[in-house]
Amino acid sequence: MISEEVKSNYRAILDVFKNEKKHISERSKKLWQHTLFIFLAIEAVLAFLVMLGVIKVQGTGLIVLFIIPIIVFMIPIISQFTLRGKWVEKYKDEVLKPIVEAQFPGITYEDDYHISEQMFNASNLFTNPDRFNGEDLFSGKLDATAFSFSEIHAEEKHTSRDKDGNTTTSYSTIFKGLFLIADFNKEIQNDTYVYSSGGKSWFSRYKRVRLEDPVFEDRFNVYSNDQVEARYILTPKIMERIVELEDRFGENLYLSFRGHNVYIAISESYDMFETSFHDEVNFTQIERFLAEVDSILAILNDLDLNLRIWTKR
């Protein structure tokens, strides 16, 4: 998938990242060895002080014996986490970002950004979250269709109080997965919502739309405040493509058609564009990343958004 020109431009850069990765691994290994030596030395001194009766294995003395090992081992853990995190961030910025943008002209990749909470809420697919984050924002234009997508994790806050008045706060997931917004370039006058039969929804205040495709009817629920427009949007071909889309990803699917946008949410239990320090540094791994990007861009073609059939009646 990667052109030979791109490979020739980035082959030397990949070698640099391989060497940096090797250096970080060697540095971390030495730090762990030194930490273990320091730990054993401290433990020997503490054991000697316990034997002399200077430190009692109770109260404050017991706390000291417990805390010191934790402090000692936190040093290499924090150092390793920091070094690896910086390497991954640099790798995304200097390798993945330019290769993605070279392979998919007109697309911008920003790994530290995500779809805004405002745009997420504009879909009206889910209740508004109390905690919201994400990563790996892709945006641009494919032929005539403007789009953006990223990974999103939206959560709802729960607060409870026990009989003693102590407050406990927890969060539950509203949605975790891929969120995509694409432009119709034409206005839709009403709202239409589609979601997998196994998915959760709150659309009961809209009217259920019954469609003629038995497979689609079995797999999806459709709600709208305009039955005619819902059928105008969900043509037989579009319904077939939505079924294929659910089959491809094997997860719950949510779509809303509002204004001049279609919003698509695909539940995912894993980070689709995750880049790990443990991944191999080669073009095969990069091609896997590009294939994930391409699978999302294919949605725009699968739903025929570039045909511009979404016109006002």
pLDDT, tens only, 293-302: 998 988 888 7
Q: Please report, for the chain, how many H helices and E strands are present, in that order.
A: 8, 7
Residue with tokens 């958004």: 305
Query: In angstroms, rounded to a whole number, what is the distance separating the alpha carbons of residues 33 and 30?
Result: 5
Tell me which of 101, 134, 162 is where a domain ends: 101
Residues 144, 189 within the same domain: yes
Beta-bridged to residue 208, according to DSSP, are 223
pLDDT in tens, 189-215: 899 999 887 555 666 678 888 888 889
pLDDT grade, residue 57 (50/70/90)? low
Task: Give one word for 300, left, alpha or beta, with left for phi > 0 and alpha for psi -120 to 50.
Answer: alpha
Query: In angstroms, rounded to a whole number, what is the distance separating the alpha carbons of residues 52 and 48?
Result: 6
Is residue 312 assigned to a domain?
no
Check residue 198 and give its pLDDT. 59
Check residue 179 and give its pLDDT. 96
Compute how many other C-beta atoms are within 10 angstroms of the C-beta atom of residue 126.
20
pLDDT grade, residue 312 (50/70/90)? very low
Is residue 313 assigned to a domain?
no
Measuring CA to CA, which residue among 42, 35, 41, 37 is closest to residue 73?
Answer: 35
Residues 71, 153 within the same domain: no
Residues 120, 188 within the same domain: yes
What residues make up the domain containing 89?
4-101
Residues 286, 244 within the same domain: yes
Residues 34, 119 within the same domain: no
- Dihedral sign for Cα 275, 280, 284, 286, please: positive
pLDDT grade, residue 13 (50/70/90)? confident
pLDDT in tens, 114-151: 999 999 999 999 989 999 999 999 999 888 889 999 99
Residues 115, 96 within the same domain: no
Tell me which of 52, 70, 101 is where a domain ends: 101
Say if residue 6's pLDDT is above 90: no
State the chain's mean pLDDT as an integer.
85
Per the structure, how many domains does the chain have? 2
Check residue 157 and give its pLDDT. 93
Q: Alpha helix (H) ranges present in the chain?
A: 4-52, 59-91, 97-103, 117-122, 214-219, 227-233, 236-249, 283-302
- Dihedral sign for Cα 203, 204, 206, 210, please: positive
Q: Please report, as a single letter, which amino acid is at residue 108.
A: T
- Cα 182 to chain centroid, rounded: 18
Residues 91, 42 within the same domain: yes
185 vs 46, more confident: 46
Query: In angstroms, rounded to a whole number, what is the distance separating the alpha carbons of residues 193 and 203?
Result: 8
Is residue 24 assigned to a domain?
yes
Tell me which of 101, 127, 159 is where a domain ends: 101
Q: Extract the tokens encoding 264.
A: 């698509």
3-state helix, strand, coil in the chain (%, to 5): 50, 25, 25
Query: In angstroms, rounded to a whole number, what is the distance separating the alpha carbons of residues 176 and 196?
Result: 15
Residues 277, 162 within the same domain: yes
Residues 200, 158 within the same domain: yes
The whole-model pTM stands at: 0.82
Q: Extract the tokens encoding 76.
A: 């290499």
pLDDT in tens, 76-122: 888 888 988 898 889 898 989 999 998 888 899 999 999 999 999 99
